[in-house]
């Protein structure tokens, strides 16, 4: 466990908040309701937040970024995933993945070194305008079988 994680995960604060619902995975969640959820979790002592570009095809990262932008940077830990790049497209298939979402994006799977770098850069953009926002090393998850075979990746 990193020093930052040890600071955040004290005996009184061992829970985190996942971002799937904030990405409209199960129902439409308004920005206002997302902010209320994040505010309530903060008041309850939650300081670890987990998001992904996949959650609402960028919606969850944007919402977490809006909320965390107003919190002291050294008081929380946020993680995201890599390997899924979002590409805006007027003919997107976002609703096939997130029927309650309204994202203009399609997903491009890219687990190459350049794709991972781009994924982190894109996440930082969605997470907010705060230049000091840092993300711990990305978690590669849900690598589709062709990517494993074509790229020689071990899972």
How many Cβ atoms sit within 10 Å of the Cβ of residue 64? 26
Active-site hit among 48, 55, 76, 111:
55
Per-residue pLDDT band at 149 (split at 50, 70, 90): very low
Q: Could you identify the residue written with the tokens 């705060």?
A: 130
Q: What is the mean pLDDT of the chain?
A: 81
Confidence of residue 142 (pLDDT cuts 50, 70, 90): low
pLDDT score, position 122: 92
Quick: pLDDT tens for 55-94.
999 999 999 999 998 898 888 888 888 888 999 888 888 8
Are 136 and 79 spatial neighbours (Cβ–Cβ below 8 Å)? yes
Closest Cα to residue 48, out of 20, 75, 82? 75
Residue 100 is among the residues annotated as catalytic for this protein = no
SS3 77: strand
The contacts of residue 26 (CB under 8 Å, 6+ apart) are 20, 100
3: its two tokens: 């020093």
Confirm if 100 and 25 have CB atoms less than 8 A apart.
yes
**Helices vs strands, H then E, count in the chain:** 6, 7
């Amino acid at each position: 466990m990193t020093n930052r994680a040890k600071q955040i995960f004290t005996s009184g604060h061992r829970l985190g908040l996942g971002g799937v619902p904030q990405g409209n995975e199960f129902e439409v969640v308004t920005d206002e309701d997302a902010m209320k959820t994040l505010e309530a979790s903060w008041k309850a002592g939650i300081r670890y937040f987990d998001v992904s570009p996949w959650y609402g095809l960028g919606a969850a990262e944007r919402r977490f970024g809006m909320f965390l932008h107003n919190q002291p940077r050294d008081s929380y830990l946020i993680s995201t995933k890599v390997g899924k790049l979002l590409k805006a497209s007027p003919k997107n298939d976002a609703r096939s993945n997130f029927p309650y979402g309204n994202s203009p994006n399609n997903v491009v799977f890219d687990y190459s070194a350049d794709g991972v770098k781009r994924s982190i850069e894109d996440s930082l953009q969605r997470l907010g305008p705060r230049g000091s926002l840092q993300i711990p090393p990305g978690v590669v998850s849900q690598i589709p079988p062709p990517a494993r075979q074509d790229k020689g990746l071990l899972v």
